[in-house]
Structures are given as structure tokens and as C-alpha cells.
Amino acid sequence: MILNSLQWKVLEPFVNETVLALEKSLGLKAEADSGFQEKIEEFKFKGFAVVANTSGSVTGRLLMHHYTETAVTIGNKLLQQQNPNLAHEHGMGDSVSNALADFAQMIMQPAVQNLQNNDMKIDFTHPYFISDTEKMDSLLEGVSEILTVPVRIDQIGRFYLNYLIHTQG
């Protein structure tokens, strides 16, 4: 099912800021595909996610959800932007994880400001990362809807922006 206008209104600033940041910060051409509602029972952990909890008018979790290979590639590019002499990391070490969490925070600030300017009363926590299936499974508890927007990056692959929405009540 395709996202309705209210769902897109919440995700659009994050999608736009992600694509813009990938291009401006890393010189990577990225494009978002159409968003859709994902079936909870079919949702699978890809290997690495940066998560921000939300409260207010929508309770849930916003995820920048990567396959491990994509996360490592983007994380290394972020690290090399900070320090061009840094050696390429081959796995999901703390440096790569922290770089991706910092990148998510950089995207969140203007996206959240956009939501506030449009009277969307949603508060976000500081992003944190998870890289194990057990923790991901716990994030699905209480989820009533999953909104997903794939983001494709030329010559790298894709990752997903997911919004795990909790039942209000």
C-alpha cells in the first residue's frame, strides 16, 4: 500500500534531507523510491540501523536501516570526509557506527525543524544504533504500522527509512 499524504508529510523531510546530505556531504547521487506500508510480519532486520524514538502526535521509532555492506561503505565515506588519512574499516566497528549515528543526527535537525514549522508535534530522541537481531526484534513490540521509503545510492546500494509506528492508547 502506498503512503497516504499525512504519512508522507512526516517522512518527506527526512527523505529530502537524507538525499541532500548524501549528495552535499559525500558527493553521492541518491534517489528515494516511492514509500509504502510494509507488513509487520514481513519486516526483516537488514543488519544495522540508526534509530530515533518519537513521541507526541506519533509514537514510534524512525530508522535509517542499512544492509551491513551499505552501512560500512557509507560509514567509511563519512569517516574519510572527517580525516582523509584514515584507514578503510572492513566491518561495523564503533567508528563506522558512530559516524552513521552522527550523520543521522545531521539529517534530523533540519527535518525536525521542517516538521515543527508545519505544526507536526513530534519529538525525537538523539539517534542511537543497533546491530543485533535481538534488539531489533524488541523494537517491533507494539508496532501497528511500518512505513518504508527505499533510498538508492548510485554504485553503493540502497538502505531504507522506516517509521515503526506504535498503537496509540
Q: Is the pLDDT of residue 1 over 70?
A: no
Domain ranges of the chain: 5-166
Q: Report whether 37 contacts 1 (CB < 8 A).
A: yes
Architecture of domain 5-166: 3-Layer(aba) Sandwich (3.40)
In which band, very low, low, confident or very high, does the pLDDT at 168 lie, cut at 50, 70 and 90?
Answer: low
Identify the bridge partners of residue 18 per DSSP, sorted by sequence position.
none
For residue 132, count CB atoms less than 10 angstroms from its CB and return exposed for 0-12, middle for 13-18, buried for 19 or more. Answer: exposed
pLDDT tens digits along 140-153? 889 999 999 999 99
pLDDT tens digits along 61-105? 999 999 888 888 888 888 888 887 777 777 788 888 888 888 888
pTM: 0.88
The x, y and z cell numbers of residue 19, run together, are: 538525499
Q: Return the percent helix, strand and coil in the chain, to nearest 5.
A: 40, 30, 25
Q: Report whether 150 contacts 33 (CB < 8 A).
A: yes
